[in-house]
């Protein structure tokens, strides 16, 4: 079974303005919603966004930001996943 991009949905997105790190909740078809860390979208000097890049290794700033939003991510994921 081949990957079908039309079945891949982004349900919720958070972006760290400081580091460009993106955290999303995604769902493929009717599958279980899951958290994805990355990509990273940095800004050009002219203020426009560069092409997305892999998140790579996380900095202290990335971890502190993720720590600040983790409860919100967990609640959203739990709500989207429904009863276990």
For the chain, give every domain's residue range: 5-81
Give residue 70's region: left, alpha or beta (phi > 0; psi -120 to 50): alpha
Report cis status (omega within 30 of 0) of the bond before 39: yes
pLDDT in tens, 43-79: 888 988 899 899 999 999 999 999 999 999 999 999 9
3-state secondary structure of 8: strand
Q: Please compute, for residue 16, the number of CA atoms within 13 A of its CA located in the half-sphere on the CB side.
A: 24
pLDDT at 84 over 70: no
Greatest alpha-carbon pair distance for the chain in Å reads: 47
pLDDT at 29 over 70: yes
pTM across the whole model:
0.87
3-state secondary structure of 28: strand
């Amino acid at each position: 079974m081949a990957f079908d991009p039309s079945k891949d949905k982004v349900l919720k997105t958070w972006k760290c303005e400081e580091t460009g790190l993106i955290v999303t909740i995604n769902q493929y078809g009717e599958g279980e919603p899951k958290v994805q860390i990355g990509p990273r979208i940095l800004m050009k000097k002219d203020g426009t966004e560069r092409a997305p890049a892999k998140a790579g290794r996380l900095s202290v700033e990335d971890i502190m930001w993720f720590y600040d939003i983790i409860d919100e991510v967990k609640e959203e994921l739990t709500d989207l996943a429904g009863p276990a």
